[in-house]
């Protein structure tokens, strides 16, 4: 999720045993993450988009995310 400041990003990650919070901020002069308008309060990112966002690249907005596959229930 986005922090109040546009130069900060927070990500909740589940690693199989619990949740952890990752925080990243851009230290570049005037650095800020590029955020598109968000509908319905959430958006899904592909792995490529997330990697580009974490690198501070605004080009991630130009890459269309693949539809997420619904998890398959196993016995």
Q: Which of 11, 6, 12 is nearest to 26 (CA)?
A: 6
In a domain? residue 37: yes
pLDDT at 54: 73
Strand partners, 23: 10
In a domain? residue 67: no
| Residue 45: strand, helix, or coil | coil
Distance CA 2, CA 11 (A): 8
pLDDT at 9: 77
pLDDT at 24: 77
The number of distinct structural domains making up the chain is 1
**Residue 17 DSSP symbol:** S
pTM attached to this predicted model: 0.50
In a domain? residue 19: yes
* Domain hosting residue 41, numbered range: 8-62
In a domain? residue 16: yes
Q: What is the pLDDT along the chain (75 residues), one digit of tens a residue?
A: 666 766 777 888 888 888 888 887 766 556 666 666 666 666 677 777 777 777 766 665 556 655 656 667 776
In a domain? residue 74: no
Strand partners, 14: 19
pLDDT at 12: 83
């Amino acid at each position: 999720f986005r922090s109040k400041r546009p130069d900060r990003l927070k990500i909740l990650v589940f690693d199989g045993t619990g949740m952890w919070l990752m925080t990243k901020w851009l230290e570049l002069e005037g650095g800020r993450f590029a955020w598109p308008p968000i509908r319905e309060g959430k958006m899904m990112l592909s792995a490529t988009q997330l990697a580009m966002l974490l690198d501070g690249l605004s080009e991630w907005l130009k890459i269309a995310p693949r539809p997420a596959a619904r998890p398959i229930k196993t016995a």
